[in-house]
Amino acid sequence: MVFVEGALPGERVLVELIPSNKKSFGRGRVLEVLDASPHRVEPSCPEVDHGCGGCDFQMVAVSEQLKLKETVVRDALERVGRQDISSLEISTVALPARGYRTTVRCLVVDGVASFRARQSNQGVPVASCEVAHPLIQTLIAEGRFGTGEAAPKEVTMRVGAATGDQMVYVTPSIAPDTSVPGDDKVVLIGADDIKAGRRAWIHEEVAGRIWRISANSFFQARPDGAEALVNAVRDAVGDLRPDSRAFDLYGGVGLFAGTVFPEDCRVVMVEQNPSSIADARVNLEQDPNLDVRIVKSKVESWTPKRADVVVADPARQGLGRVAVSKITETDAPTIVLVSCDAASLARDADLLGRRGYRLDTLTVIDLFPMTSHTETVARFVAS
C-alpha cells in the first residue's frame, strides 16, 4: 500500500516515491495529475503558490472535504483498529471553512510570521492566511517580530473571537524591534517572561461561558469547534443518574468538566499542565453548582477509581496501552474518547476492544477545513 500526498480518490497521477523504512506501507507525492477528480479545485489561497504548506486540502472542494475525512476515519478503524463498523452510523459536523482559526503558531523569518513549507521545517513568509480569524490576519500582515540575533524563533498568536482579546507569545524572548498592530490592545509576552513568573491570558466565550486561556494552556483553535465538541461529548455522555461519578482526563482548562456533566455529578478532572490547571480553577469556580475536583497528574500515573463515565481528550498520539489500562480499571460502562488523529483513534479502539469495550457511536467534526486534520468523538460501551 502506498499513501500518495496530493492525490484524490479516483485520480490517475504520476507519483514520486518517498524513501521510507516502513515495511507495511509506502509514501509518495504527486508530480503530475493525469486524470483529475471532479472534486479537485484550484487553491483559493494565494500563499499556496508561494510554498505555504499549512493547508494540504486546498485542492479539494470544500463540499467534499468532510466526506474524505469520514472515509479516512472509516479506513483507519477497519484497517488499523480491526473494527467491524459495517453497522456503525457516523455523524458529521461541518463548520465554516474560512476565517476560523483563533490560534496560529508561526516561525519567524526576517521578522515576519511564516508558515512551514509542506513536510519541511523551512519557513515561508506569508502576507495573509485564508483560514485565520480577521484579528489574526491583521497580526500576520502587520506584525514585525524582530530581526538579527535577538529575533525570536517562533510566534504564537491567539485571539478571542467573542471578546476581542489578543495575545502574541514569542519564543524565546521579545526582540527590541518588535511591533504589533494595535499594541495597546495586544498582550505581548515572551517565553522567558513566563519562566520568570509573569502570566498572560485571553478570554473566549464557548457554550455560554467565558473561559480564561493562558499562554501555555491548550484550547481548541476555534470557538465554534470547541462548542461542537462540547455538544458531541455531552450527547455521548448521555443521561447520568443522580450522584454519578465521572472522570475528565486530559482536562485542559476545564472545558468538558464545566459543560458536559449534570450539576449533581461528581467530577474528577485530571491534568498535568500547571498553566491549564490554574486556568481550570478560575474557569470552574465561576459556577458554584459544579462539583469538580482537580487532580494534577499524568493519566499514566493516575490512580483510577470506579466511575460511571470517563471522558478522555489526549494529545495527537492518543491514549496508548497504559492510559487504556488505567481507564478500563474504572469499570465505567461508558468511555467517551476525543481524538485528533484517525490512526490514534483506531489504535485506541483496538486496545479498548481487547479490554471489553465496543465502539458504539462516532462523530466526525470538521474542526480544520482546508486541512486533512480529523477530529472525532467516539463513545465506547462495555460489552
Please, what sign has the CA dihedral across residues 95, 97, 98, 99? positive
pLDDT at 21: 75
| Contact predicate 233/311, CB 8 Å | yes
Give 223-243 pLDDT, tens digit per residue.
999 999 999 999 999 999 989
Q: What is the pLDDT averaged over residues 50-65?
A: 95
pLDDT band at 15 (very low <50, low <70, confident <90, very high): confident
pTM more than 0.85: yes
How does 241-271 read in b/e, with b if 16+ C-beta sit within 10 Å? Answer: eeebbbbbbbbbbbbbbbbbbbeebebbbbb
Q: Compute CA 57 distance to the chain's CA centroid, rounded to the nearest angstrom.
A: 17
Q: Which helix (H) or strand (E) holds 233?
A: helix 223-237
C-alpha cell at 157: 498568536
Cα–Cα distance, 327 to 304 (Å, whole number): 7
Q: What is the pLDDT averaged over residues 64-92?
A: 95
pLDDT at 226: 98
pLDDT at 206: 98
| Contact predicate 308/45, CB 8 Å | no
How does 36-69 read in b/e, with b if 16+ C-beta sit within 10 Å? Answer: ebebbeebebebbeebbbbbbbbbbebebbbbbb
User: Among the listed ranges 71-80, 99-108, 143-152, 373-382, which one has the minimum average pLDDT value?
Assistant: 143-152
Percent of the chain with pLDDT over 90: 86
Please give the DSSP secondary-structure letter assigned to residue 11: -
pLDDT at 186: 95
Phi-psi region of 164 (alpha: psi -120 to 50; beta: other; left: phi over 0): left
Please give the DSSP secondary-structure letter assigned to residue 88: P
| Contact predicate 326/350, CB 8 Å | no
Q: Which amino acid is at 236?
A: A
pLDDT at 118: 83
C-alpha cell at 233: 461529548
Rounded to whole angstroms, the maximal C-alpha distance in the chain is 62
Q: What is the pLDDT averaged over residues 245-251?
A: 98
pLDDT at 58: 96
Cα–Cα distance, 117 to 110 (Å, whole number): 16
Q: What is the pLDDT averaged over residues 72-100?
A: 96
Cα–Cα distance, 337 to 339 (Å, whole number): 6
Cα–Cα distance, 220 to 375 (Å, whole number): 11
pLDDT at 17 over 90: no
Q: How far is CA 232 from CA 236, 263, 381, in A?
A: 6, 18, 16
User: Among the listed ranges 13-17, 79-83, 141-145, 294-298, which one has the minimum average pLDDT value?
Assistant: 13-17
Give 281-324 pLDDT, tens digit per residue.
999 998 988 999 999 999 999 999 999 999 999 999 999 999 99
pLDDT at 29 over 90: no
